Amino acid sequence: MIIAVDGPAASGKGTLSKRVAVHYALAYLDTGSLYRAVARDTVIAGGDPRDEDAAVAAAEKIDPDTLEDPGLRARGVGEAASIVAAHAKVRTALLAYQRSFAKQPAGAVIDGRDIGTVICPDATVKLFVTATPEERAHRRYLQLIDGGVQVTEDEVLADIRRRDERDQGREAAPLLKADDAHLLDTTNLSIDAAFKAAIDVIDAAL
């Protein structure tokens, strides 16, 4: 069983995907962390995320054991990740790892931007998780403040809009709802309600 979960930045897809994975005892892969790690490693190697060759070199050496690094969640890393993620060759370099993860016998929940459209077009169930930019900015703002980061809600909203534009506007695997994905708008849903809605959709498809 493969459950593909796509959606924009801060839509709640990560929280939701982790809970779904536990519920069905499936492995979980946050593919955003791959692009974040590529951005981190490009910069550590002295490269510029806008330089496709530098980002590809980092993508080809990515170490899956470094994806839990809390530094990957920092504000600037998400921004740099969306820059490296626009390079087609970076996406190609990360494809095999994602596809092989999807094949493990236990089945998997995989979240990202192009899982239902490119990585796992034959996924058992596809969810497309959204919320308004304002609601997503509000949630991300509370998380950042909670983590001691000094930022205003307007700055977070501007980050989110810029990232949406880049993720939706790029040529290589843009953020797109697959035709057969179930739309889950979490704007007015609590985490529990979003989880329940997801489980209902998945159970109905099994």
**Is position 62 an interface residue for ligand C5P (rule: CB under 6 A)?**
no
Binding mask 136-175 for ligand C5P (x = CB under 6 A): ---------------------------x---x--------
Task: State which amino acid sits at residue 71.
Answer: G
Distance of CA 107 to the CA centre of its chain: 18
Residue 186 binds ligand C5P (CB under 6 A)? no
| Closer to ligand C5P by Cβ: residue 71 or 203 | 71
Contacts 24+ apart (CB under 8 A), 158-162: 159/9, 159/75, 159/78, 159/79, 160/8, 160/9, 160/10, 160/133, 160/136, 161/133, 162/79
35 binds ligand C5P (CB under 6 A): yes
Tell me which of 17, 42, 82, 186 binds ligand C5P, using CB under 6 A. 82
Alpha carbon 7 to its chain centroid, in Å, reads 7
CB 40 within 8 A of CB 77: yes
> Residue from 3, 9, 125, 184 that binds ligand C5P (CB under 6 A)?
9
Query: Is position 114 an interface residue for ligand C5P (rule: CB under 6 A)?
Result: yes
Number of Cα atoms under 13 Å in the Cβ half of residue 37: 19
Using CB under 6 A as the criterion, which residues of the chain lie in contact with ligand C5P when the complex forms?
9, 31-32, 35-36, 78, 81-82, 85, 112-114, 163, 167
